[in-house]
Amino acid sequence: MKSHLGPTPIMILGTSSGSGKSLLTAAICGFLKGNGEFAVPFKGQNMSNNAWIDKNGGEMAYSQVFQAWAAEIDPICLMNPVLIKPQGDCISEIVHLGKSIGVTKAQNYYEEYFSSGWDAITKGLKKINKLYPEGRLIIEGAGSPVEVNLQHKDLTNLRLAKHLKANCILVADIERGGVFAQLIGTLELLKPNEKKLIKGIIINKFRGDLSLFDSGRKWIEEKTNIPVLGVMPWLPELFPAEDSLDLVTREKQNKSNADLEIGVLKLNHLSNYSDLEPLESEKDVKLTWINPGELIGTPDALIIPGSKQTLKDLEILKKSGTAQKINDYANKGGSILGICGGMQMLGEVLEDPLYLESDDIMRAHGSKYKGLNLLPIQTTFTKKKLSKQRQVKAIWPAITNVNGFELHRGVSKLLNSNESINSIFADQSLGWSLKNGSSGNISGTYLHGILDNGEWRTLWINELRKNKKLAPIKFNNIDYHFKRKVIIKKLVDAFGNYIDINKFNKLFL
């Protein structure tokens, strides 16, 4: 029985994590859209703390959001029906069909959530089929499809491929080395009925002269009897990171002459790192990642990003000495921006009456914790998670309209106000800014995606430039989603240039 209504799905499997499945899925979505097809991205189960909120308040992984933008359709949480959000210590939050349903230990995950996870995936597929009956599913796999110790409980690779009778592409990352062993080993571990699903191979992240791999391509095809669709080169570091490790370890862009240096704390439980991509794309801004315990130096601003475990990250900052370094930086008139959990850390008090974020050791000391004491706010963690898109008016640094989303547990309130405190938004619950000395500001906001807004980002950057006695940059009212369109076009163009399109069309369309 056919389990989908539209054209035969295409699934992108990888020989390993980090092989480039996410971006190739986006590339195929954009390529098909440009050729008159209706592509719908899908990933049954994703593990990521880089989340996004759809128009109905549903939570989903950012990678499927980017793929939906490539397909030029609205992202909806049905495209990622199971989201696992690691919290550290082998514990994860589980999100099904956009809603948080519980927390579990890794050792208990399959026992507690395997059946309900598959149910969420099949429900998501049915709803997508109903919404887009003519759409072709472009499905991203997870990790490797042949983890033999986990295959019997695989939710999102071969089980899904067989369920949908998908035509599969196997992607191997040549940058890691051992590409021939990756491919042959993966194919050898597939059962005959699974191997039949693999219709093509893509070699990804090749550096240098592509013609040097011609003999390798020929060997792979002769050995596997599966066509190599193309060899994708190592692309410039312009594309969104597939996970937080990619973001902080990717090759550094040459920004030695950047006007501004912005330090970013690399929190142990870093989340929503896509908030920082708009700054990374600014030619006159250099991002410097700072691990707990490292010197902060003298950046022009310091960002404390979102955290999946705010209290635990705050404790790490204290024990590593970084909390004191942050206060020293602030005392010298530095500018700090905290986003979501980062803003909560900037406050005076964080209270966890239900012990939602506290571990056993922390509970012994009570439910109240001292923050960095840089913003006069108190945060109380609540059971209910707030998740919704927002369109609000910013009133600091100047009046402008902004878009973003909230995704947090916890409510923050101002403990005292004075003439140095500004609400960043007309909705005062979304964030505050405190004048710090003669030129700096201590600011915090719950609004993820605030830096996507070109006008607000320019105003904030120009505040930093003014502090450094630099001329303001040209006013930029172009939001980052326009930059993403350029990125997507480059990605799609690369797919069209380096993949044998005739072969691809014959095998998959």
Rounded Cα gap, residues 292 and 54, in angstroms: 33
Q: What is the dihedral of CA 314, 317, 321, 326, to 10 degrees?
A: -90
| Catalytic sites, residue numbers | 340, 448
Distance CA 387, CA 47 (A): 18
Identify the pLDDT of residue 167.
98
Tell me the C-alpha distance between 76 and 74, whole Å. 6
Structural domains in the chain plus CATH codes: 10-238+485-508 (3.40.50.300), 260-469 (3.40.50.880)
User: What is the per-residue pLDDT for 482?
Assistant: 87
The CA–CA distances, whole Å, from 491 to 26, 205, 266, 368, 497 equal 8, 13, 28, 48, 10
Using CA atoms, how far apart are residues 37 and 30, in angstroms rounded to an integer? 9
Alpha helices (runs of H) in 168-290, residue ranges in sequence order: 179-188, 192-195, 214-224, 244-249, 277-280
Question: How much is the pTM?
Answer: 0.93
pLDDT given for residue 338 in this prediction: 98
pLDDT at 1: 42
List the chain pLDDT tens, one digit each, 509 residues: 455 667 999 999 999 998 999 999 999 999 999 999 999 999 999 999 999 999 999 999 999 999 999 999 999 999 999 999 998 888 999 999 999 999 999 999 989 999 999 999 999 999 999 999 999 999 999 999 999 888 888 899 999 999 999 999 999 999 989 999 999 999 999 999 999 999 999 999 999 999 999 999 999 999 999 999 999 998 865 566 555 445 555 545 567 789 999 999 999 999 999 999 999 888 899 999 999 999 999 999 999 999 999 999 999 999 999 999 999 999 999 999 999 999 999 999 999 998 888 776 677 777 899 999 999 999 999 988 999 999 999 999 999 999 999 999 999 999 987 878 999 999 999 999 999 988 899 999 999 999 999 999 999 999 999 999 999 988 776 788 888 898 899 999 999 999 999 999 999 98
Q: Pairing mode, if any, of strands 349-351 and 368-370? A: antiparallel
